[in-house]
Amino acid sequence: QKEVEQNSGPLSVPEGAIASLNCTYSDRGSQSFFWYRQYSGKSPELIMSIYSNGDKEDGRFTAQLNKASQYVSLLIRDSQPSDSATYLCALSTGTASKLTFGTGTRLQVTL
């Protein structure tokens, strides 16, 4: 079992809809959780971090964390074509803030 699991997609949503991206993880000791966006040929860009159970909202983005069920999700409201990218779920466990990544979910926002 991989430490961080994501559906590779592509996840296709129409413009203006809500995109829901999910991630499950196996290490219950994980402390910090992150969502990165990566456009093709570019580097990962941090869009959300979440450290405690519940929801965290930032503009059109909402991250949700449920440590008991070991999942973290990202909701993108009013999806735009510019949101089309690969979204990477990452978590940090233990010392030195080393990140473990999922393989990413490719999101396509269609006109």
Site residues, another protein (CB under 8 A): 31-32, 34, 36, 42-46, 49, 51, 88, 90, 95-104
| Minimum distance from residue 95 beta carbon to another protein (Å) | 6
| Minimum distance from residue 59 beta carbon to another protein (Å) | 17
Nearer to another protein, 45 or 78 (CB): 45
Nearer to another protein, 17 or 99 (CB): 99
| Minimum distance from residue 63 beta carbon to another protein (Å) | 13
Residue with tokens 């999806």: 79
In which region does residue 26 sit, left (phi positive, over 0), alpha (psi from -120 to 50) or beta (all else)?
alpha
Nearer to another protein, 43 or 82 (CB): 43
Nearer to another protein, 25 or 34 (CB): 34
| Minimum distance from residue 37 beta carbon to another protein (Å) | 11
DSSP string, 15-79: TTSPEEEEEEES-TT--EEEEEEE-TTS--EEEEEE-SSEEEEETTEEEEEETTTTEEEEEESS-
Tokens of 44: 């990962």
